[in-house]
Chain A
C-alpha cells in the first residue's frame, strides 16, 4: 500500500509536465506499474492460495505417511492397486457423467418450455424453478437426508400409499448411488436452465423467421437453428458443471459419507476421509491430485471446440 502512495503522488505533476514525449513515456510506464499494483492482490490470492497449495500438494503426495521420507510415486501406485480406490474412480466418473447429462437434459427442456411462455408468467415460474440452486447444498442436503431416513422416510410413506415396498435409500449401494445423483441433479438442473434460457433469448428472431419461411418444422428449427447457436454456451456450461460435479463434496459427505461399504465415495469425500480423518495427508493429496489430469483433459477438449467455433463465427 505504501508503494501505491509513492507512485501515485508524483503522478499529478507528471500530468502537467511540459515535455511531450517524456510525458507519454512516463505515462505508459506509470500506467503499467499502476496496473500491476492493482492486480497484485489478485496475484497474491491466486499465487499464494491456489497455485502454491497445488504444487505443495504434489510435493506432499510424494512423502510417506509420517511425512519424513520422500517416496516418489509410491502413493499413487499404492492407490491404483487398492480396490476401494478403483471404486472411487468409477463412482466419480459415473456420478459426474450421469448427473451432468441429466442436468443438461432437464435444464434444456425447462429452458425451452419457459421460453414458450408469455413474458409475464415466465418470471414467476423461473423464480420458483431456481430455488434449489439458491439454497446452499449443505443445507438442502439435510432435507434430502431426512426424506431418505430409514425409518421416517416421507418418500417411502408415499410409496407405501401406492402399495410399493419401502426402499432403503441410503442403505443399499445401488439406491445410495442413485440418491446422491438425484440430489445433485435436483441442485444443479436449475443452473443449466438459467444458462440455456439466457442463450435462447440471445438467438436472433430473424433466424427463426427465415427458417419458418423455408418451411422448417419445430424439430428442424431446434436442430438447425437453436442448437448450433447455443453450442458454445452448452459446451461451457457442461464443462463448468462437469468440474464442479466431479469435485463435489457436500452432497455425498452429508447424505452417505461414502457408505454403504465405500460404494458412494467420490474423490473429494475419499480424500477427506483418508487425508483429514485418518490423518494420512500424503495419501489424501494423492487421491485428490488424481482429479486434476481428468479435469484438464475435459477442459482442453471443450475449450478447443469453443475457440474453433468462435473463430468460425468471426471468420
Chain B
C-alpha cells in the first residue's frame, strides 16, 4: 500500500518536469510554425506586391535601371488613369463582367435542377450520369479547344462573346452539380416527406425547401462558377481575335504589348484591377469560397 503510494509520488515528480518540457517544446514548435508561415507568406505575396509597386510607377521610373524595383520613389496613378480613359480596357472589363454573369446564371440553373434530380429522384441511368459528370474531368479544356474551334467556326460564332457563354458552362457545370449533389443529399429525407404530405410538387419542394436549406452550398457553387469564368484564358485566346471582343485575361496582354514595347506599368495596373473582383469576393466570402473548393473531395 505504502510502496504503491511511494512509487506514485516518485513518478509524479519527473512527470511535472516533463510537462514543463512539453510546454517549452510546444512554444518552440509554435515559433517554428510562425517562421515557416512567414517565409511562405512572403513567397506567396511577392508577385502581387511587385504588381502593385510597378503599377504605381511612371514609365521613366520603371525604365531607370539604377532604381530599386521593390519601392516607389514618386507614386503616381497615371497608369490607372490612362487605362480607364483610353484604349479598350474598360471594354474588356465590361465583356468579362457580361460573360461571367451570364455563365454563372446559366450554370446555377442547370446544376441546381440536375443535382436535385440526381440526389433525390432515382431514375434510369442516374448512376451512370453521376459517373459521367465525374468523367468530364478526364477531358480537359486543352483537349477540347481544337474540335470546339471547328464547331464554333461552323456555327458562325468565331470571334463572338456568345461562343464564350456557350462554352464556359462545360467548365463550371460538372463541378457545381457535384457540389450541389453533396449539399442536397445531406438534407434529411423527412423534410421532403413532410412536403409531399402537404401536397407540394417537386418544383415547390425544390424552391421552398432545398434551395433555402442548401443556400450556403449554392453560394459556394456560385463563387466557384464566378472564379472559373473570370479566370478562363484558353478559350478566349483561341476564339476571340479582335480587341473589342476580348475579355480581360487576354485583352491586357494583347493590347499593351506592341511588338517589343511592354508598357509594364499599365500591364500591372490592368492586371491588378482584373484580379480585384475575385479578391474582393474572396475577402468578404472566404468561408463560402473555401467550402466550394473543399466540398468535392470531403464529400466524394
Contact = CB atoms under 8 A, between A and B. Distances in A.
B41 A147 contact: no
Given A54-B144, A57-B144, A295 B50 contact: no
Interface in B186-240: 199, 201-203, 227, 230-231, 233-234, 237-238
Interface string A19-37: 0000000000001101110
Given A50-B144, A247-B143, A38 B267 contact: no
A132 B42 CA distance: 11
Contacts of B283: 127
Interface residues of B, number: 95
Interface in A67-116: 106, 109-110, 113-114, 116
Contact of B300 (A38, A154, A236, A254): A236
Interface in A213-267: 233, 236-237, 240, 243-244, 246-250, 253-254, 267
Given A31-B121, A198-B298, A272-B238, A146 B68 contact: no
A165 interface: no
Interface in A150-209: 151-152, 154, 157-158, 186, 189-191, 194-195, 198-199, 202
Contact of A138 (B148, B150, B170, B249): B249
B290 A146 contact: no
Most buried by B among A49, A128, A275, A291: A49
Nearest to B33: A113
Given A31-B123, A54-B143, A195-B294, A41 B151 contact: no
B94 to A, nearest CB: 17
Contacts of B174: 46
Interface string A279-293: 001001100110110
Contacts of B161: none
Interface stretch (B1-9, B12-20, B80-88, B270-278): B270-278
User: Chain A at the B interface: mostly helix, strand, loop or mixed?
Assistant: helix
B147 to A, nearest CB: 4
Contacts of A45: 110, 169-170, 173
B169 A53 contact: no
For chain A, give the interface size range.
Answer: 35 or more
A210 interface: no
A54 B296 CA distance: 24
Interface string B133-172: 1001111111111111111000000000000001101100
A275 B149 CA distance: 10
B62 interface: yes
A35 B50 contact: no
Contacts of B75: none
B279 A131 contact: yes
A94 B49 CA distance: 30
A186 B48 CA distance: 12
Contact of A56 (B62, B147, B203): B147
Given A116-B29, A151-B65, A194 B294 contact: yes
Contacts of A140: 47-48, 271, 275
Contacts of A56: 147, 150-151
A288 B231 CA distance: 22
Given A34-B202, A135-B275, A236-B300, A41 B294 contact: no
A42 to B, nearest CB: 4
Contact of A129 (B40, B139, B144, B170): B40
A137 B148 CA distance: 22
A139 B274 contact: yes
B121 to A, nearest CB: 4
B183 interface: no
Most buried by A among B30, B50, B121, B142: B142
A12 to B, nearest CB: 7
B288 interface: no
A143 B268 contact: yes
B166 to A, nearest CB: 7
Given A116-B30, A292-B139, A136 B233 contact: yes
Given A49-B167, A194-B293, A199-B298, A139 B33 contact: no
B77 interface: no
Contact of A117 (B30, B126, B248): B30
Contacts of B50: 143, 146-147, 154
B293 A267 contact: no
A143 B44 CA distance: 12
B141 A249 contact: yes
A202 B298 contact: yes
Contacts of A42: 110-111, 113-114, 129, 133, 173, 177
Given A42-B110, A146-B50, 20 more contacts: A31-B121, A34-B202, A35-B118, A45-B110, A49-B167, A49-B169, A117-B30, A134-B282, A136-B231, A138-B233, A138-B249, A143-B51, A152-B69, A157-B70, A191-B293, A194-B290, A267-B142, A271-B145, A272-B237, A281-B146
5 contacts: A57-B144, A106-B40, A135-B48, A276-B146, A288-B145
